[in-house]
């Protein structure tokens, strides 16, 4: 059965990720984790060497490369990626360039080409796809009193502007994906509004990437539901991840970025089968990019 979504499996090669706390900092552990995610059905493996959690401190390009290159090379040497793709989660042009040389075919830039003036050129000169994400400020500052006139309209306007910038830089439109940046400079209310009105962003005409997986707003909502003071820890947020991923898919998301590939894939497969004919031709078309 042809499914109207792709799963992007998260491989954090960092010591300070909110979701796994350095569990895959060792290259061999990260390579094995990537192999498992691919086996569970991840069409894309997203490799990141710099945490983008709220308050995260930046790392140098050299350190980022030291973390991710052995993993990218190990994935390439393993030969099990098959028809899948490898994505590099970076905002640094030098890291993107090295990752592309090592086999990455997607650059997932949370800064939407704003952090490094050379990133657009690197992408324009390659055959890579890219994901442009909305974020207020930078990871260190993005959660300081985020405010919007209308979060959906503001995010849509930002993504439209960044797509125009990418096109002007020579990046082909068919190689662009867009991400509203759930949890990146947004309150719980902002995140829920974006999910509820995600279909409005489909008007931009490009595949939408949505990553709610294990995000703190899920932990807070679930804790509030049972009267707990502290948000549920990241490892207990799978039910919320599944619920928000299904809702995102129903509203037009094409790529779901998740940590727990197998259970999310099962839930989305059932959701797709249930919705059936409600999928629009546009939604089906945007699940495939060249």
Domain boundaries, the chain: 6-285
The fold of 6-285 is: TIM Barrel (3.20.20)
Tokens of 244: 């928000």
So what's the pLDDT on residue 140?
Answer: 64
pLDDT value, residue 277: 56
Tokens of 276: 């059936």
Pick the closest to residue 115 from 141, 92, 139 (CA basis): 92
- The arithmetic mean of pLDDT across residues 264-276, rounded, is 93
Distance between terminal CA atoms of the chain?
20
Selection from 104, 82, 103, 90 nearest residue 52 by Cα: 90
| Residue 231 to residue 9: CA distance in whole angstroms | 24
**pTM score above 0.95:** no
H-helix segments, 169-260? 188-196, 216-225, 238-250
pLDDT at 282: 39
Q: Is 1 exposed, middle or buried (0-12, 13-18, 19+ CB in 10 A)?
A: exposed
Active centre residues (catalytic): 215, 257
- Residue 289: pLDDT band (50, 70, 90) is very low
Q: What pLDDT band is residue 28 in, cutting at 50, 70 and 90?
A: very high
pLDDT at 197 over 50: yes
Residues 6+ apart with CB under 8 A from 44: 6, 7, 8, 9, 84, 85, 86, 87, 106, 255
Rounded average pLDDT over 103-115: 97
pLDDT digits (tens, 9 = 90+) for 58-68: 899 999 999 99
């Amino acid at each position: 059965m042809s499914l109207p979504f792709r799963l992007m499996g998260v491989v954090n090669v960092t010591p300070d990720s909110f979701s796994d706390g350095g569990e895959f900092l060792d290259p061999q552990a990260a390579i094995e984790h990537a192999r498992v995610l691919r086996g569970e059905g991840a069409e894309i493996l997203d490799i990141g060497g710099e945490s983008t959690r709220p308050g995260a401190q930046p790392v140098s390009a050299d350190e980022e490369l030291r973390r991710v290159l052995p993993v990218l090379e190990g994935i390439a040497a393993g030969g099990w990626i098959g028809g899948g793709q490898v994505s590099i989660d970076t905002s640094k042009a030098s890291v993107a360039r090295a990752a592309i040389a090592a086999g990455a075919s997607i650059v997932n830039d949370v800064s939407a080409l704003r952090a490094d003036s050379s990133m657009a050129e690197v992408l324009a000169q390659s055959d890579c796809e890219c994901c442009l994400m909305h974020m207020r400020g930078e990871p260190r500052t993005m959660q300081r009193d985020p405010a919007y006139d209308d979060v959906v309209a503001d995010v849509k306007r930002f993504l439209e502007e960044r797509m125009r910038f990418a096109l002007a830089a020579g990046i082909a439109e068919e190689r662009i994906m867009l991400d509203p940046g759930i949890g990146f400079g947004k309150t719980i209310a902002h995140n829920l509004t974006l999910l509820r009105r995600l279909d409005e962003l489909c008007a931009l005409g490009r595949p939408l990437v949505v990553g709610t997986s294990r995000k703190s707003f899920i932990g807070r909502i679930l804790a509030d539901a049972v009267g707990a003071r502290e948000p549920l820890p990241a490892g207990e947020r799978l039910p919320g991840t599944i619920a928000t991923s299904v809702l995102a898919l129903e509203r037009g998301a094409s790529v779901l970025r998740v940590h727990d590939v197998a259970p999310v894939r099962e839930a989305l497969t059932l959701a797709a089968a249930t919705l059936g004919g409600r999928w629009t031709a546009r939604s089906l078309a945007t699940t495939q990019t060249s």
